[in-house]
């Protein structure tokens, strides 16, 4: 057959074969935009008298392969640092307020001669749980969300997506997943909602399922406390904070790495498909609208997420109090279940009380550590130790070592989402199946990782 007999289809096939190492979709979209730009320049005249085009100069820095990533990590690091540091004081104020109010409510119950079980369920169970959730979650969210919205309003977040697009594309997903993942640092439920920005249903579902692998505000207190006690304590006191901070950053990077691996596996198995083209026209930088930022971050995100957490945490507080106070043969239900789970927990370098704390902490990650403390001290209501030294002694007296601490942090990082996030997944996917699948997948990952770490530690003899 001569070249003269080639059909248009042959030309297309030849073009595809010539681009076998590149994305055909990207080539087509790039060609369309290049042609559109050429046509636009030929028929329009832009009266731009600016001597310096700052947008282009800033973009050359923020989206550069050399400077883009360091700047991105630096900005996120600053936001985390401000969130963690800034949330401590208001969290303490809220905690003091709620616990001082608890004394007054208890006084009212005593004045009314209310039965102990009613006071236990309503005050020590429900009220104290709500106090924990609000005092721990509200300040970080009230700081993190406005700062994140500020970056969004400035027009920086599309640059982040542009920088990370290639990394997520190699995992078979979409560059916008980087944005939803970043939202998950504040709250995984908010991160799941943010997945609406991804147009492809397949890629949106992958982003929803894997969002839990980045730590939310509820898990940061666990990571910070244990890193200060067990990892920061390895070195001299003047370097302990630095080492503890680096260990938290390392945990965050593990979460991102697991996100990419699981996304890759999902895109090659049950959610097969070709990554869609990421055509992102970088918007111009804008002057932030403070009023709009406060409304979107506080009302649409902070109050919305906190409201869901409160709805779930209230009944959880009652259940926690009941299982810790109802006894069978002089042993509480909590201790019975912890004893049953203990052999499995030891395989993961944990114990039955730790697994029980994670199970009872399903409504909100913030209550996992208080439940564990309550279990170790055999108290019937959630409480807080006065200092990290007291917590360290309590954990060491219950058989903890460095492997227990590392696996506790890893299990906290990778385990099932909280109930608020699971409900959000169900709502966003219109399916209980995907919420259940996410629960099983993330829990399996947490079990596999901690089992491997514990087995290696046993093999090497690290204790």
Cα 459 to chain centroid distance, Å, stands at 32
The size of the chain, in residues, is: 463
Looking at the 3D structure of the chain, how many domains does it have? 1
pLDDT of residue 1: 44
Which of 18-32, 192-206, 320-334 tops mean pLDDT?
192-206
Decide if 116 is inside a domain.
Answer: yes
State how far the alpha carbon of 412 is from the alpha carbons of 141, 215, 224, in Å.
19, 8, 12
The mean pLDDT value for 313-323 works out to 77
User: pLDDT > 90: what percent of the chain?
Assistant: 19
- Concatenate the DSSP letters of all residues of 408-460 into one string: HHHHHHHSPPPHHHHHHHHHHHT-HHHHHHHHHHHHHHHHHHHHHHHHHHHHH
Residues 6+ apart with CB under 8 A from 230: 392, 400, 402, 405, 406
Residues 6+ apart with CB under 8 A from 32: none
Decide if 406 is inside a domain.
Answer: yes
Decide if 345 is inside a domain.
Answer: yes
The mean pLDDT value for 395-416 works out to 92
Answer yes or no: are the C-beta atoms of 230 and 405 closer than 8 Å. yes
Tell whether the model's pLDDT for residue 341 goes beyond 50: yes
The mean pLDDT value for 401-423 works out to 92
pLDDT of residue 17: 58
Our CA angle for 19, 23, 26, nearest 5°, is: 115
Decide if 173 is inside a domain.
Answer: yes
Q: Which domain holds residue 202?
A: 67-272+291-460
The mean pLDDT value for 363-387 works out to 68
The strand pairing partners of 332, in sequence order, are: 327
What is the rounded distance in angstroms from the CA atom of residue 371 to the CA atom of residue 321? Answer: 10
The string of pLDDT tens digits covering residues 90-129 is 877 887 888 888 888 989 998 988 888 888 888 887 887 7
Decide if 277 is inside a domain.
Answer: no
The mean pLDDT value for 384-395 works out to 70
Decide if 413 is inside a domain.
Answer: yes
- CB burial of residue 102 (10 Å; 0-12, 13-18, 19+): middle
Decide if 379 is inside a domain.
Answer: yes
Answer yes or no: are the C-beta atoms of 80 and 185 closer than 8 Å. yes
Signed CA dihedral, 25, 31, 32, 33: sign only: positive
What is the rounded distance in angstroms from the CA atom of residue 86 to the CA atom of residue 78? Answer: 11
Answer yes or no: are the C-beta atoms of 159 and 270 closer than 8 Å. no
What is the rounded distance in angstroms from the CA atom of residue 450 to the CA atom of residue 437? Answer: 20
Confidence class for position 26, pLDDT limits 50, 70, 90 = low
Decide if 144 is inside a domain.
Answer: yes
């Amino acid at each position: 057959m001569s070249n003269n007999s080639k059909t248009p289809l042959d030309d297309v096939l030849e073009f595809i074969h010539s681009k076998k190492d590149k994305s055909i979709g990207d080539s087509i979209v790039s060609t369309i935009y290049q042609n559109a730009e050429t046509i636009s320049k030929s028929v329009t005249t832009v009266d731009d008298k600016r001597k310096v085009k700052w947008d282009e100069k800033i973009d050359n820095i923020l989206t550069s392969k050399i400077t883009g990533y360091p700047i991105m990590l630096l900005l996120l690091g600053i936001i985390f640092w401000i969130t963690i540091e800034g949330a401590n004081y208001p969290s303490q104020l809220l905690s003091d307020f709620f616990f001082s109010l608890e004394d007054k409510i208890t006084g009212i119950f005593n004045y009314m001669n209310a039965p102990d079980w009613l006071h236990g369920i309503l005050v020590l169970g429900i009220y104290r749980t709500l106090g924990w959730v609000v005092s721990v979650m509200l300040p970080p969210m009230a700081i993190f969300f406005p700062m994140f919205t500020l970056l969004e309003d400035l027009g920086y977040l599309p640059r982040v997506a542009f920088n990370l697009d290639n990394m997520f594309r190699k995992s078979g997903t979409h560059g916008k997943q980087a944005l939803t993942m970043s939202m998950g640092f504040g709250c995984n439920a908010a991160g799941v909602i943010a997945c609406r920005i991804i147009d492809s249903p397949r890629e949106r579902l992958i982003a929803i399922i894997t969002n839990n692998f980045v730590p939310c505000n509820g898990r940061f207190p666990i990571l910070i406390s244990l890193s200060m006690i067990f990892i920061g304590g390895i070195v001299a006191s003047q370097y302990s904070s630095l080492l503890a901070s680096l260990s938290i950053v390392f945990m965050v990077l593990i979460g991102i790495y697991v996100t990419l691996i699981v996304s890759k596996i999902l895109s090659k198995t049950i959610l097969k498909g070709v990554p869609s083209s990421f055509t992102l026209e970088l918007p111009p930088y804008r002057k932030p609208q403070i009023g709009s930022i406060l409304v979107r971050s506080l009302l649409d995100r902070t109050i919305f997420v906190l409201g869901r957490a409160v709805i779930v945490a209230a009944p959880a507080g009652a259940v926690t109090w009941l299982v810790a106070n109802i006894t069978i043969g002089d042993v509480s239900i909590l201790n019975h279940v912890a004893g049953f789970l203990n052999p499995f927990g030891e395989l993961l370098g944990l114990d039955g009380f730790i697994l029980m704390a994670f199970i009872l902490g399903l409504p909100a990650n913030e209550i996992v550590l208080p439940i564990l403390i309550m279990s170790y001290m055999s108290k019937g209501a959630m409480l807080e130790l006065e200092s990290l030294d007291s917590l360290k002694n309590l954990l060491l007296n219950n058989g903890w070592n460095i492997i227990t601490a590392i696996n506790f942090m890893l299990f906290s990082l990778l385990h099932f989402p909280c109930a608020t996030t699971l409900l959000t997944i169900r709502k966003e996917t219109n399916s209980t199946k995907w919420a259940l699948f996410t629960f099983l997948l993330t829990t399996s990952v947490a079990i596999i990782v901690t089992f491997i770490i514990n087995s290696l530690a046993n093999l090497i003899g690290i204790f």
